[in-house]
Amino acid sequence: MDLRQMKYFLALAQELHFGRAAQRLHMAQPPLTRQIRALEEELGTALFLRTPKGVELTAAGQTLLDEVPNILSLAQRADERTRLAGAGLIGRLDVGIFGSGVLDVIPRLLADFHRQRPDVRLELNNMTKAEQLQALRERRIAVGFNRLVQAEPGLGVQVVLREPLVVGLPETHPLCGRAQIGLRELSGVPMILYPNAPLPGLAQEVTAAFAREGARLEVAQEVEDVLTCVALVASGFGCCITTQSAMSLRLPGVAYRPLHSRQLRDIALCCLYRTDDGSPVLAAFLRVVQSFAARQGAVEP
C-alpha cells in the first residue's frame, strides 16, 4: 500500500461514490476502480460494498479510514520537514565557544543566525581550544570559535574579526594617567596571563611580544580564563593584556587603556569548521559568519 493508494482510498471513503471521488482526484473513474481493487487484493479483504447509490465502507474499510488521515498527515509533515532540512531551515547546530569569546562577538553572530533561521536549534558547548579541535575531529560539534588556531588538513578557519588589545590595570595604578600604554612601560610590572593552556594562545603572544620589544615580563599569575584574570586585576594582583571585548565585564576597580605595541596590536577571532561537512545548516551559518566578517573588514590569516 503506497501513499497514492491511500489518497485514492481516502477520497472514495469520504465521497462514497466512484464518480465523485474520481472527479475530486482529477482522474478517470476506471483507473480509480482498478487502484481500489488492487488495494483490496493486496490487503486480502474488501474495503467497500458496492450499492446502487455508490459504495459503503466495510468494517475493514472503516478501520483503514481511522488510520489513513494520520498516515497521510505524517507523510506530508515528513516531506515538508525534509525539504526544510535540505534548505538548512530546521535542524541543530552544535557550537563550541570559549570564555572571552562570549562577551561580544559570538552572541551577536548567533543572534543574527537565529533571526534568519529561528527553527534551527543552537547547542552551545563551552570548550577550550584543544577540546574544540578534538570535538570537531570527532564530529561532536559542527563549528567552533577560538583564536590563534594552527591550520591542519580538513579544518576550515574563517577570520571573523581582528580585535584590538588593551591593557587592564588597577584603577589606582600610576600608568592609569597615560592615554595609551606600551610594553616597555609594563617592563617589570606584575602581569596576569591567560589562558594557561598547552596550545598557543594570548599568553604566548604576550610573552613573545615582551621578548621582541626588549621588555621584562614579570608574571604574577597564570589563569585559565578572562574573568579570573580581570578579577585579579581588580584585586590589585597585577595588570593584564586582554581583548577590547573584555572591557564589557566592567568589574569595579579596573581601568583599561589602549595597548601601544609594534608586535602586538590585535588578535583574530576565528570560526572553525570541517571542510568536508556538507550540512545545509552549517553552510547557512558560515554565510552569516562571512557576511559579518566582511562588514568588519576581516581578512584571512
Over residues 137-141, mean pLDDT? 96
Q: How far apart are CA 127 and CA 134, in angstroms?
A: 10
Contact (CB, 8 A) for 67 and 115: no
What is the pLDDT of the chain when averaged over all its residues? Answer: 92
Radius of gyration of the chain (CA): 32
Q: Which of 65, 86, 107 is the last residue of a domain?
A: 86
Over residues 185-194, mean pLDDT? 96
pLDDT of residue 301: 43
| 98-136: b (≥16 Cβ within 10 Å) or e | bbbbbbbbbeebbeebeeebeebeeeeeebbbebbbebb
Fill in the DSSP letter of residue 252. T
Over residues 147-173, mean pLDDT? 93
Q: Which of 86, 104, 126 is the last residue of a domain?
A: 86
140 with 217, same domain: the answer is: yes
Q: Where are the beta strands (DSSP E) in 104-245?
A: 120-126, 143-147, 155-170, 181-182, 190-193, 218-222, 240-243
Percent helix / strand / coil, the chain, rounded to 5: 45, 25, 30
Over residues 176-204, mean pLDDT? 92
Enter the C-alpha cell of residue 47: 474495503
Q: How far apart are CA 135 and CA 130, in angstroms?
A: 9
What pairs with residue 271 in β-bridges? Answer: 145, 158
50 with 134, same domain: the answer is: no
108 with 64, same domain: the answer is: no
Which SS3 state, helix, strand or coil, does residue 137 take? Answer: helix
CA-angle at 62, arms to 59 and 67, nearest 5°: 135
pLDDT of residue 296: 82
Q: Is the pLDDT of residue 73 over 50?
A: yes
- pLDDT, tens digit, 9 for 90 and up, residues 2-49: 889 999 999 999 999 999 999 999 999 999 999 999 999 999 999 999
Contact (CB, 8 A) for 47 and 68: no
* Enclosing domain of residue 245: 91-301
255 with 123, same domain: the answer is: yes
Residue 203, Cβ neighbours under 10 Å: how many? Answer: 21
User: How many domains does one find in the chain?
Assistant: 2
Looking at residue 182, which CATH number applies to its domain? 3.40.190.290
152 with 102, same domain: the answer is: yes
| 298 band by pLDDT with thresholds 50, 70 and 90 | low
158 with 254, same domain: the answer is: yes
Enter the C-alpha cell of residue 169: 590595570
51 with 126, same domain: the answer is: no
- pLDDT, tens digit, 9 for 90 and up, residues 30-39: 999 999 999 9
81 with 114, same domain: the answer is: no
Q: Which of 31, 60, 86 is the last residue of a domain?
A: 86
147 with 66, same domain: the answer is: no
121 with 227, same domain: the answer is: yes
68 with 102, same domain: the answer is: no
158 with 237, same domain: the answer is: yes
Enter the C-alpha cell of residue 182: 606600551
Q: Name every residue whose Cβ is closer than 8 Å to that of residue 85 and which is 6 or more positions away in sequence.
A: 91, 280
Looking at residue 77, which CATH number applies to its domain? 1.10.10.10
